[in-house]
Homo-oligomer: A and B are copies of this chain.
Amino acid sequence: MTDRSPLAPTSLPALPEIAGVTRRVARARYKTWDRCDLTYVELSPGTTVAGVLTKSKCASPEVDWCRAALVLGRARALVVNAGNSNAFTGDRGRHAVEGLAARVAQHLGCQPSDVFVASTGVIGVPLPLDKAEAGLTAAFTAEPCDWVTAAETIMTTDTFAKVAVTRAVIGDRTVELVGIIKGSGMIMPDMATMLGFIFTDAAVDAAWMQSALSAANTKSFSCITVDSDTSTSDTVLAFATGAAGNATISDDDEPGADAFRSALDDLCLQLAHLVVRDGEGASKFIRIDVTGAESDESAHRIGMSIANSPLVKTAIAGEDANWGRVVMAIGKAGEPAERDKVAIRFGETQVARDGLEVEGYDEAPVTAHLKGAEIDIGVDLGLGDGRATVWTCDLTHGYISINADYRS
């Protein structure tokens, strides 16, 4: 196990219980380890659900299953397996997911489509249904556990448990939103991140929550990258039990809709940042602001080109003020850019403007900024009003060590 990321938060937020959500964990022993690796979350009847899933063309059967179940918009349980992604396993993989859902449905007396399943780990090995069923049976009778234990149980190469909390006022009720997430490598979510789960006691219509979650996703999970690799299993699900008793939100015009959207945006961004902070081998948390692009989409693509550049990421790992690599990454993005209008900032220091180094450039404050753990890069293209912010981490020997030896 790798050491805890140096970018991990130093403290955990206080996490409220969400009425209608009960967590239990068990040992399915998907790998030869002695840790809990199966998470079972029971949700009270009436819970609505929304989700965003990987756009991978080789998505796991769990993703296929969730995509179909999301259409119905209701949930009674969530099962998360850690240590085996079950992706690219053909019929056996599909049968494992169906078997798990059926077992939970039988236990709860609900429909299999009310059961959401997510798995993470090695690709290409079918999930062993016998181990999964034994794990489930143990989980059904286990004591309920706290949020952090659940967040730990969904981890794979993660080095710390990732939890976040926000709240929103809807009419005369305050609703709570709690999220847990895992992810560290194979992170450039195309719709969602590795595995993230959000729970709220708000009463919200599933279709409306889907629109709110999709919007939050574009500003959070879709704006992070660790290594440019998009998982076969990326999944973010949001469950709303309705226990807070607010008037159900089903439209943007209704009271509390803005507050809930804003709380959901905040929670998703917190969770997305936690994934970057646990990026494999990460020693620096990097924020990249792109302004002056032709459109927001163009700004986003330029930001991601910088965030995914191995040369930019290694320069930052080496605390090297080699801003020319940012120029390179802008140039290769394939987006509108005019070299002689480009400006670049590191921290508070403008390093380049109008297509060349600023007059009297002093590297000292840039080098000082790079010695910190929170790196801030600004790029202005001087073309229009398009803007975007993306987040990534640096590329270090740690990433190579973790990934040249992950399966064994």
Contact = CB atoms under 8 A, between A and B. Distances in A.
Find the residue from A57, A228, A325, A339 having the highest chain B CB count within 10 A: A57
A232 interface: yes
B403 A88 contact: no
Nearest to A394: B404
Contacts of A315: 403-404, 406-407
Interface stretch (A2-10, A23-31, A303-311): A303-311
A179 interface: no
A317 B403 CA distance: 9
A235 to B, nearest CB: 14
A308 B227 CA distance: 10
Q: Which of A54, A58, A309, A396 lies at the interface centre, i.e. has the most chain B CB atoms within 10 A of its CB?
A: A58
A407 B322 contact: yes
Interface string A324-343: 11011111111111111010
Given A93-B356, A327-B58, A328-B58, A400 B400 contact: yes
Interface string A396-408: 1101110111111
A90 B334 CA distance: 21
A149 interface: no
A395 to B, nearest CB: 7
A44 interface: no
Contact of A328 (B230, B327, B339, B354): B230
A361 B63 CA distance: 25
Nearest to A324: B123
Interface string A341-380: 0100000000010111100000000000000000000000
A232 B229 CA distance: 24
A124 interface: yes
A318 to B, nearest CB: 3
Contact of A335 (B57, B230, B310): B57
Contacts of A186: 311, 328
Nearest to A342: B58
Interface in A80-113: 85, 87-93
A262 interface: no
How many identical chains are in the complex? 2
A325 B396 CA distance: 20
Contacts of A342: 58, 88
Find the residue from A54, A310, A356 having the highest chain B CB count within 10 A. A310
Contacts of A357: 88-89, 124-125
A314 interface: yes
Contacts of A335: 57
Given A229-B332, A320-B406, A327 B123 contact: yes
B58 A311 contact: no
A190 interface: yes
A243 interface: no
A171 B405 CA distance: 57
Contacts of A229: 309-311, 325, 328-329, 332
A328 B404 contact: no
7 contacts: A55-B334, A58-B328, A122-B324, A228-B228, A228-B309, A317-B404, A320-B404
